[in-house]
């Protein structure tokens, strides 16, 4: 795909082959944001894991201290008191069989699905629809829980999911181009710290293989994995 004039102009602002500290990368990324909308800022990390092996799978959630900059629409599978808690916490869609029926019709106007454990037999029947879209609730990410009110509040407040793809890459939105450099760096470091915390014991060799930061429309800025300590 040919590069646009704006992309080329953004690429000319820095050395594409150089590696930078997180703080430097954030500053560069903010300068390269030239779209008319508030671009997302995305972190991509290539991990030294083999996600095909169960003991090297990396998946979970992390709370972004500065928020994600995105307003999530959340669907909750729950009934009774749990359903009321979900609504009170700000869930956008709440239901059981009725919610499942809407999803089966193709009505999926939500970004995240949460379910109480007793609802999983129902949700499981939707696996062929929710799974390919990455919307299947999972205990590892806190989206299968008895405390749905708390879960809704946390995800609305900036908690995000992460997981390796089949190549060992993790992609996480860490904010918007309009965020301050300090807020973007705080979110970036929160994700990297979390990935380091959950490093599989079976992972061998270099863990952070490649790290890059980019805006929706901009070029990737490489981050030096040897310079991740604050102040470097």
Task: Tell me the pLDDT tens digit for each residue of 80-115.
Answer: 999 999 999 999 999 999 999 999 999 999 999 999
- Using the predicted structure, report yes or no on whether residue 1 has a pLDDT greater than 80: no
Confidence band of 13 (pLDDT split at 50, 70, 90)? confident
Where b means 16+ CB within 10 Å and e means fewer, 72-105 reads bebbbbbeeebbebbbebebbbbbbeebbeebee
- Using the predicted structure, report yes or no on whether residue 6 has a pLDDT greater than 50: yes
- Using the predicted structure, report yes or no on whether residue 161 has a pLDDT greater than 70: yes
**Strand arrangement, sheet containing 221-222:** 169-176, 40-47, 208-215, 221-222
- Alpha-carbon distance of 222 to 232, in angstroms, equals 15
Provide the pLDDT for residue 10. Answer: 79
Q: Using CA atoms of 88, 89, 90, 96 in order, give the dihedral in degrees to the nearest 10.
A: -70
The size of the chain, in residues, is 232
- Using the predicted structure, report yes or no on whether residue 230 has a pLDDT greater than 80: no
Residue ranges per structural domain of the chain: 10-68+159-222, 74-156
Provide the pLDDT for residue 84. Answer: 97
What's 10-68+159-222's CATH class?
alpha beta
Tokens of 172: 């996480």
- Alpha-carbon distance of 12 to 53, in angstroms, equals 40
- Using the predicted structure, report yes or no on whether residue 225 has a pLDDT greater than 90: yes
Residue pair 194/162 in contact by the 8 Å Cβ criterion: yes
Share of the chain above pLDDT 70, in %: 98
Give the mean pLDDT of 54-69. 92
- Alpha-carbon distance of 23 to 153, in angstroms, equals 29
pTM for the model stands at: 0.83
Superfamily holding 74-156: Ribosomal protein L1/L10, domain II (3.40.50.790)
Confidence band of 232 (pLDDT split at 50, 70, 90)? low
- Alpha-carbon distance of 225 to 232, in angstroms, equals 11
Provide the pLDDT for residue 15. Answer: 84
Tokens of 229: 């300590």
- Alpha-carbon distance of 122 to 107, in angstroms, equals 17
């Amino acid at each position: 795909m040919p590069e646009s004039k704006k992309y080329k102009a953004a690429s000319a602002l820095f050395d594409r082959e150089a590696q930078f500290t997180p703080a430097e990368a954030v500053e560069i990324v903010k300068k390269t944001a030239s779209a008319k909308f508030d671009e997302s800022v995305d972190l991509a990390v290539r991990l030294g894991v083999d996600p095909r092996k169960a003991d090297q799978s990396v998946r979970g959630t992390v709370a972004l201290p500065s928020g994600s900059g995105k307003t999530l629409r959340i669907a909750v599978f729950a009934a009774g008191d749990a359903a009321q808690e979900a609504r009170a916490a700000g869930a956008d869609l709440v239901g059981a069989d009725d919610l499942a029926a809407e999803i089966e019709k193709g009505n999926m106007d939500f970004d995240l699905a949460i379910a109480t454990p007793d609802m999983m037999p129902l949700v499981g029947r939707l696996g062929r629809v929710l799974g390919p879209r990455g919307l299947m609730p999972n205990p590892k990410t806190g989206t299968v829980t008895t405390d749905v009110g708390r879960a809704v509040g946390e995800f609305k407040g900036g908690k995000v999911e992460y997981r390796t793809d089949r190549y060992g890459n993790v992609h996480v939105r860490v904010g918007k181009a309009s965020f301050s450099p300090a807020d973007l760096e705080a979110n970036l470091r929160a994700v990297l710290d979390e990935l380091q915390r959950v490093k599989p014991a079976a992972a061998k060799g270099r863990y952070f293989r490649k790290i890059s930061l980019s805006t929706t429309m901009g070029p990737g800025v490489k981050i030096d994995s040897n310079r991740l300590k604050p102040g470097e």
